[in-house]
């Protein structure tokens, strides 16, 4: 049976949910638990705020990510996943030092969006993800327009993501996000892309009338499918 290594702690609750969702799928579709190794990246808390809120000093987290990739390689995993969109700015750097494949949450998400045939997508993500155009560039290259929050709205989104990580988010944050989402729809969005995996902890499909594109769920589905290629050739296409 293949094993997957998870670069965890970006943030912790998302990592926990990612793990539990994989276990739940294995219960439903397989005859044994999957082999999972999680390395919780130990980095200073101040980096969260600098990267997410201020969109700066992201290079300081790279050594921690590289260390995690090396540990998972040494542990003997067959492939690696990173349930965090923002740090995918370093995906090629990390792939260069890894002896095993690293699935990209960006690539997997773009595949889904292209298959759905959307013409314009509204994006909710960290300021760094938006500034680096992690989704905008590949979407536009594929003929898909993108709508992003205004500067004021993005400041709100960034603060909400930080509160989720600090476990201080409340119902007001969901209402604020729904208001921003409504504005993105008014700007022509046909669907909303949760380009930050932590947002799925307070937003889900039942909150919207149109389809919500959840990057955490997309990566989890791709991870399960890669594991089940060996287990019993079961393909899971999302919940």
Average pLDDT, the chain: 93
Asked if residue 88 belongs to a domain, the reply is yes
- Is pLDDT of 220 > 90? yes
Asked if residue 173 belongs to a domain, the reply is yes
7 and 84 housed in the same domain: yes
> Helix, strand, coil % (nearest 5) of the chain?
55, 15, 30
Question: Residue 82, exposed/middle/buried by CB under 10 A (0-12, 13-18, 19+)?
Answer: buried
User: 6-31, pLDDT tens digit by residue?
Assistant: 999 999 999 999 999 999 999 999 88
pTM: 0.92
- Is pLDDT of 191 > 80? yes
40 and 119 housed in the same domain: no
| pLDDT at residue 232, as a whole number | 45
- Is pLDDT of 237 > 90? no
147 and 90 housed in the same domain: no
The tally of domains found in the chain comes to 2
138 and 78 housed in the same domain: no
Name the residues annotated as catalytic: 84, 196
Nearest to 16 by CA among 225, 157, 198, 158: 198
Lowest mean pLDDT among 43-57, 80-94, 120-134, 180-194: 43-57
The predicted model gives 217-237 an average pLDDT of 75
Nearest to 192 by CA among 174, 178, 171: 178
C-alpha–C-alpha distance, residues 106 and 147, integer Å: 17
Asked if residue 236 belongs to a domain, the reply is no
79 and 153 housed in the same domain: no
119 and 84 housed in the same domain: no
User: 199-214, pLDDT tens digit by residue?
Assistant: 999 999 999 988 899 9
Asked if residue 34 belongs to a domain, the reply is yes
Residue 190, domain CATH: 3.40.50.1860
Asked if residue 238 belongs to a domain, the reply is no
Name the pLDDT band for 48 (thresholds 50, 70, 90): confident
178 versus 51: the higher-pLDDT residue is: 178
| pLDDT at residue 110, as a whole number | 96
238 versus 80: the higher-pLDDT residue is: 80
| pLDDT at residue 18, as a whole number | 97
69 and 123 housed in the same domain: no
| pLDDT at residue 50, as a whole number | 87
The predicted model gives 77-104 an average pLDDT of 98
Q: What is the DSSP string of 35-102?
A: EEEEEE----HHHHHHHHTS---GGGGHHHHHHHHHHHHHTT-SEEE---SGGGGGHHHHHHH-SS-B
C-alpha–C-alpha distance, residues 127 and 136, integer Å: 13
80 and 131 housed in the same domain: no
DSSP H or E segment with residue 212? strand 212-214
Pair type for strands 212-214 and 79-81: unpaired
- Give residue 188's domain range: 106-214
The predicted model gives 185-211 an average pLDDT of 95
């Amino acid at each position: 049976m293949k094993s997957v290594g998870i670069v965890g702690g970006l943030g912790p609750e998302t990592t926990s949910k990612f793990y539990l969702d994989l276990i739940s799928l294995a219960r439903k579709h397989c005859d044994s638990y999957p082999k999972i190794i999680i390395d919780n990246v130990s980095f200073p808390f101040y980096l969260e705020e600098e990267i997410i809120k201020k969109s700066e000093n992201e290079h300081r987290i790279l050594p921690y990510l590289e260390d995690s990739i090396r540990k998972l390689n040494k542990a003997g995993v067959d492939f690696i996943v990173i349930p965090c969109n923002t740090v995918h700015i370093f995906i090629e750097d990390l792939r260069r030092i890894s002896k095993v494949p690293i699935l990209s949450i960006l690539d997997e998400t773009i595949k889904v969006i292209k298959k759905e045939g959307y013409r314009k997508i509204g994006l909710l993500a960290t300021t760094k993800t938006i500034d680096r155009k992690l989704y905008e560039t590949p979407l536009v290259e594929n003929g898909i327009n993108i709508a992003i929050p205004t500067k004021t709205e993005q400041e709100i989104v960034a603060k909400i993501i930080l509160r989720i990580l600090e476990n201080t988010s409340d119902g007001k944050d969901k209402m604020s996000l729904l208001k921003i989402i409504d504005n993105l729809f008014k700007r022509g969005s046909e669907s909303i892309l949760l380009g930050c995996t932590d947002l799925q902890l307070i937003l889900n499909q039942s909150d919207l009338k149109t389809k919500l594109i959840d990057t955490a769920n997309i990566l989890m589905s791709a991870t399960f499918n890669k594991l089940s290629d060996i287990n019993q050739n079961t393909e899971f296409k999302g919940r």
